[in-house]
Amino acid sequence: MSLAWTLDVDQDRIAWLRFDLADEKVNKFTSAVMAELDTTLDRIAADTAIQAVVVHSGKPGSFIVGADVAELAAIGDAADARNKAQSGQSVFNKLANLRVPTVAVIHGACMGGGTELALACRYRLATDDPKTSIGLPEVKLGILPGWGGTQRLPGVVGLAQALTLIMSGSAQPSRKAYRLGLVDALVAHAFLAEQTRRFLARVGSVKGRQTVLGRRWRVRPVLVRFLEKTPPGRAIIYRQAAKQAQHRSKGHYPAPIEALEVIRQSFKGPLASGLAAEAEAFARLALSSVSRNLVWVFQASQRLKKTPPSPSDHRPQPVRNAAVIGAGVMGGGIAWALSHAGLRVWLADIAWPAAAKGMATAAGMFQALVKRKKITAGQMDVAMCRITPTTDLGKLGGQLDLVIEAVVEDMAVKKQVLRQLESHVGPDTVICTNTSSLSIGEMASALERPSRFVGLHFFNPVNRMPLVEVIPGEETSPQTVACAVAVARQLGKTPVVVRDSAGFLVNRILLPYINESIRMFEEGVAPQRIDQLVEAFGMPMGPLALADEVGWDVGLKVAQVLEDAFGQRMRVPDLLRTAVTSGTLLGKKNGSGFYVYRRGKRKPNPQAAELTGKSEQRGDDAGVLDQQIVDRAILTMVNEAARCLEEAIVPNAEVLDMAMLLGTGFAPFRGGLLRWSDQLGAAHIVKRLHGLALICGDRFQPAPMLERLAASNGRFYQDPAG
């Protein structure tokens, strides 16, 4: 019985090899699937009547998503890893060595091992569907293409482009793949079989073959062709690729550099030796802590996307019509997200100039997609037509399925708007608030029907941040929670349901990290030193640069909410309160924060130093150890995360870690905040926290949960593999 592969030979002796993995929504390569493909290729090779082979997918809208990540996670040792790479290489070598023309017909996602299979075919066709994309994302899992991808891709698209695709791990839409020569023709899905036959007839002639193969060379830029021909030219390409990889990875991710070295050593050399080098590099990387952590992040993200919103998993009502109240930066961004997902949106504010600004924000986000060729200008126009600005809530009527309030972060103002809003929408409309820290329960007290009210916290900027916190109040119904979760997923976001508490989850953990960094600045540590050390740890942006990016006034509002809720542990730094009150320092928005921003560049701001009263000593911070700076920033997050977990703000460590990864960009190569803590050990963390408490005060006293884990040699993750 076939597990995945079906071979049909038609009257023209074309073998149609269909991949349709049983009981799965998508095709992926497992050991059993590869073994079946190996046997099937032997059958094809033995059948001398076959004139061509076409590999295609039986899954609607998907080709092959790659190898089964669970098998990658289960690799036990170097020999196991090497064997997996060599086995895959052997199977794809059989495909590449078939005596007849082979064509991969790609419709939908073609990733990793799927792309390597396509590269082993002599030709590649792709549908012009927007969902069709092709890539080798292995470096995002801390490995490299191990089934021949590093060896075959340079021969298809050239050295420079192959390095870019492999080292970035980026997927290419089918039209760009065609422009690069990665695919040989674009076909319409509706006429896939007919156009595939036509292509096979074309390459059946010598002239047709030469035209198709010659095009792969001709699409490369002339300068690139020139550089690739000579060793000095290739050396320039390698140096540039290494420089870009270092810039992107900051030295934390070894896979891109390993891939570069494999290609550098094997380019233009024998395939067998190149494959051997590829398998060895794969084995080294697959066992690294970076790969283990990145694989865990991928698996955890998949689990989170499938998590039901509540144990009862109520079926949410469909959302087609929505409104956003408040057309500021966040409101405009949320309107963009709703429209981009195909919803009809009303964008409301009290005055037309404000509504116009919100429309401009949404338009700017669509224009960015046009610039990156993700959508066309025509598609942008259609999407913008789905957004209707208004200054009259009364015009919304009862046609809305969902409305999101996104006005200023002020409890009194939000209550007033919510009261007014409730009177203008239908009885079944779900009402959401986009708040970063305010109590959902208190806001709900302004409504007559609090059961349909829920927090829906988007992160800024909306078009780039994947996380949405869903915050039910005590009276929020399960149906309302299910609707909020479904809408977030409809927008392409990852929702995390969190308990109603000051700052919710991400901001509650993040604000102490920023506050502590501000205190270090107040004590005389230079801002660039703090930011550079924390970025070297793996955070995408230093805490003081982040404070500037968010805005000091916005940060103060959230910080004050947290201080009111948690007392001295979350005390607002004096500098933050003084600067915002005086209006002198607001961060990047007025060009003056911890840094001065001029003409796209930044430098430390002496005005911020003067406000601390330590301007004369600024920069003389050699007495503070680098490790102490990192510990004060990072371990304060660990400490607060332990409190959040103990208070059941989220159900477990995995959800907390994923929220921090998606909401703050916490270093993915370290796995997650609490996963990294487990690797460090609770006893070690508690010891360091006690040391910081002696120097800095009681705010560093370890959380009770951390103390218990240290005493029992326990872990945040009960499963050691977590």
CATH of the domain at 442: 3.40.50.720
Asked, for residue 315, whether it belongs to a domain, the answer is: no
Question: Looking at residue 719, what is its pLDDT?
Answer: 65
Domain shared by 441 and 518, yes or no: no
Which one of 265, 297, 329 terminates a domain? 297
- Asked whether residue 309 is assigned to any structural domain, the reply reads no
The answer to whether position 150 is within a domain reads yes
Residue 535 falls within a domain, yes or no?
A: yes
110 HSE (CA, 13 A, CB side): 31
The answer to whether 280 and 469 have CB atoms below 8 angstroms apart is no
Is 314 catalytic? The answer is: no
In the block, residue with structure tokens 């409504």 = 447
Q: Is the dihedral of CA 284, 287, 293, 295 positive or negative?
A: positive
Residue 87 lies inside a defined structural domain of this protein: yes
Structure-block tokens of residue 474: 């005590």
Q: Give pLDDT, residue 312.
A: 62
Q: Across the beta sheet with 62-64, what order do the strands follow?
A: 62-64, 109-111, 133-135, 172-173
Query: Whole-angstrom Cα distance, residue 216 to residue 220?
Result: 7
- Is residue 471 located within the same domain as residue 581? no
Among 468, 497, 526, residue at a domain's last position: 497
CATH number at residue 645: 1.10.1040.50
Half-sphere exposure of 404 (CA within 13 A, CB side): 30
DSSP state of 573: P
Residue 338: which of 317, 352, 320, 318 has the closest Cα?
320
Q: Specify whether 184 is located in the same domain as 94.
A: yes
- How far apart are alpha carbons 135 and 165 in whole angstroms? 7
Residue 306 lies in a domain: no
* 467 and 534 co-located in one domain: no
- Residues 587-610, buried b or exposed e (16+ Cβ, 10 A)? bbbeebbbbbbeeeebebbeebbe
Residue 680 neighbours by CB under 8 Å, 6+ apart: none
Note whether residue 304 is domain-resident: no
- Using CA atoms, how far apart are residues 73 and 141, in angstroms rounded to an integer? 10
Whether 384 and 491 map to the same domain: the answer is yes
According to the model, what pLDDT value does residue 720 have? 52
Range of the domain at 50: 5-297
Rounded to 5°, the CA angle 583-458-170 comes to 110
SS3 label, residue 111:
strand
The answer to whether 160 and 102 have CB atoms below 8 angstroms apart is: no
Question: Is the pTM for the entire model greater than 0.85?
Answer: yes
100 and 211 share one domain: yes
| CATH code (residue 216) | 3.90.226.10
Pair (51, 80) in one structural domain: yes
Same domain for 164 and 42: yes
340, 457, 684, 690: the active-site residue: 457
For residue 441, the surrounding DSSP H or E stretch is helix 440-444
For 545, the token pair is: 């640069």
DSSP state, residue 428: T
Question: Considering the domain boundaries, does residue 192 fall inside one?
Answer: yes
**Residue with the two structure tokens 């092709």:** 134
475 with 511, same domain?
Answer: no
pLDDT averaged over consecutive 10-residue blocks of the chain (722 residues)?
89 96 95 97 96 96 96 95 98 98 98 98 95 96 98 97 96 95 95 95 94 94 93 96 90 95 96 98 97 96 83 75 95 97 95 96 96 90 96 81 95 95 91 95 95 96 95 95 94 96 96 96 94 95 95 93 94 92 88 92 91 62 85 98 97 96 95 96 97 95 97 87 56
Q: And the tokens for 342?
A: 């195909």
pLDDT at 394: 81
| List of residues 6+ apart from 571 with CB closer than 8 A | 515, 563, 699
Three-state SS for 60?
coil
pLDDT at position 619 is 52
- Is the CB of residue 230 less than 8 Å from the CB of residue 224? no
Report how far residue 637's alpha carbon sits from residue 624's, in angstroms, rounded to the nearest whole number. Answer: 20
pLDDT of residue 618: 52
β-pair type (321-325, 133-135): unpaired
Nearest to 668 by CA among 375, 246, 301, 399: 301
For the chain, the domain total comes to 3
Give yes or no: residues 444 and 363 share one domain: yes
Q: Measure the CA–CA gap between 4 and 57, rounded to whole angstroms.
A: 10
Q: What are the φ/ψ torsions at residue 69 (nearest 5 degrees)?
A: -65, -30
Kindly provide the residue ranges of all beta strands, DSSP E only, lying in 539-605, ordered along the sequence. Answer: 595-598, 601-604
pLDDT for 313 equals 61
Q: What token pair was written down for 356? A: 């116009």
Tokens of 84: 């997996």
Q: How many CB atoms lie within 10 A of CB 634?
A: 25
